[in-house]
Amino acid sequence: MSLDKTPDWQREKAAYIHAEFVTLHASRRAEAAPLVPALHQIAGRLNGKILSRGYTIRCSAGSLKTLWYEWIKANCKASALIPQYTCGTKKHTVPDQLKAEIQRQASMTVGGRDKHQKGKSSTTIWKELNQKWQRGESIPGLGDWQTWWAKNHPGISLPHTAPEFPFSYDCINRYTGSKAVRKWGTVGKAAANAELPQITLNYSNLRRCEAYTLDDVRLDLVAIDEITGRVIEITCYILMEISSRYIVSFVLKPKNAIKQEDVDELLAVGLSADGFGIGDGYTTHIIFERGTIACSEAAQAVLEAGSEGGIKVHRTGMDGGIRWAGSAADKASGHAMGKGAMESFNGKLHNLLIDLPGQRGNNLKNQPANLGVGETQVKDPSRSNKGTLVAAAEKLAQFKTSARAAGINADLQLPLLTINGLRVQVTKAIHSYNLTGGHDMQGFRTRTEAEISPGVWARVNELDQ
């Protein structure tokens, strides 16, 4: 910016600083005077000086150091000391390549005990960038420090050692991303959703049969297949009427055995159950999770067309995709955020079945040690499940099947439930759940009290003590 286009107080300030810099420049040539102490002396003389129109000069050794290098780059011209307010002019802007590198490191998979859980912290990234900078290594968007210095300080000789890294910790921290970004990079989109804003669903205004939701849940226990005699995992597919949280129907089968026709039949049975069906004068919405087996396209067409718009089928989104360009795609998984009522019931169902034999827990760490390998863990040829509960149950079940085939009545008590026996227990648990409502659902109980004297109340069961 030229001097003739600036306010007079800025020109006057620039003139004072220019005069000091001319004197300093001459003394440094003659005596090689150190820069920083000289700038402190100049700041002491200029800071607080009143200009002709009442403006006050505010400066420090740090700000004068910045102006000094700008003045040197401009061949010692006073115009370099005028503030540069031109739109778009930025100094030391973080390059896009460096931003991408910071985000990559913040969301990359790291080794150690926390593998696949989190990327590098802002502190670690900051330290590593500084170490590379001091070693003279190339940094994306900047190059090595010699290249950076020559580009940003033309005409000034290279220092003997690397200058400070041009960006502060706070600046780097702004580009590492939120927890959602880091989890998306290290684990995937499904993990990131837990850190992202979610829509709060309100079911209080739903009318009866206005919305249904379906989902499958792997039960936290194993059972014996009556046909093969093997211990297997069990999956339960459930239809819930959302307004009342009532479980209308369900199907229970071995893991991966539920097919699309089972879902179509489940839906048909549920919509024809007593007291249920579709809305009278309003649309009934049926919500499937896309990550599970949904009803067939043909069944959807029949439901929507046959009800003349009275039924509308929805499918939730999928979590997955590619996290970074060139990386492998994440395994697709259903987006569970849109059906909290069903997810809540799934947790309650596990609690209702907690006393049944064959508990395997919700993950490998929570699995009882005596359960055995079987279908509940990844099979390892070097390990044996001999003597475990699974091994004993399978031997007894296969002996019972062989004895029955030979015409021998071997009425043995098996240590685990069969699939049919488990189906009976699940039916009882869901029936008990459906009968629970109102305050009982929240754990409230009836408490009877009596007024034993004016204004004094006591619980009835305490009067007998």
Residue 379 pLDDT: 43
Cα–Cα distance for residue pair 223/425, rounded to 1 Å = 12
Check: CB of residue 234 under 8 Å from CB of residue 302.
no
Token pair recorded at residue 154: 């033309």
Residue 170 pLDDT: 80
Name residue 217's beta-bridge partners.
236
Give the number of C-alpha atoms closer than 13 A to the C-alpha of residue 266, restricted to the C-beta side. 29
Low-confidence ranges of the chain (pLDDT < 70): 1-6, 30-33, 53, 84-92, 109-119, 182, 185-186, 198-201, 290-295, 317-338, 366, 369-370, 372-387, 399, 403-407, 409-410, 412, 437-447, 461-465
Burial label for 92, CB within 10 Å (0-12, 13-18, 19+), is: exposed
Name residue 321's beta-bridge partners.
330
Positive or negative: CA dihedral 152, 153, 157, 163: negative
CA distances from 345 to 39, 172, 210, 220, 247 (A): 71, 44, 19, 14, 9
Residue 327 pLDDT: 59
Check: CB of residue 276 under 8 Å from CB of residue 248.
yes
Burial label for 108, CB within 10 Å (0-12, 13-18, 19+), is: middle
Backbone angles phi, psi at 359, to 5 degrees: -65, 130
Residue 444 pLDDT: 54
CA 237 from centroid of its chain's CA atoms: 26
Encoded amino acid at 439, one letter: H
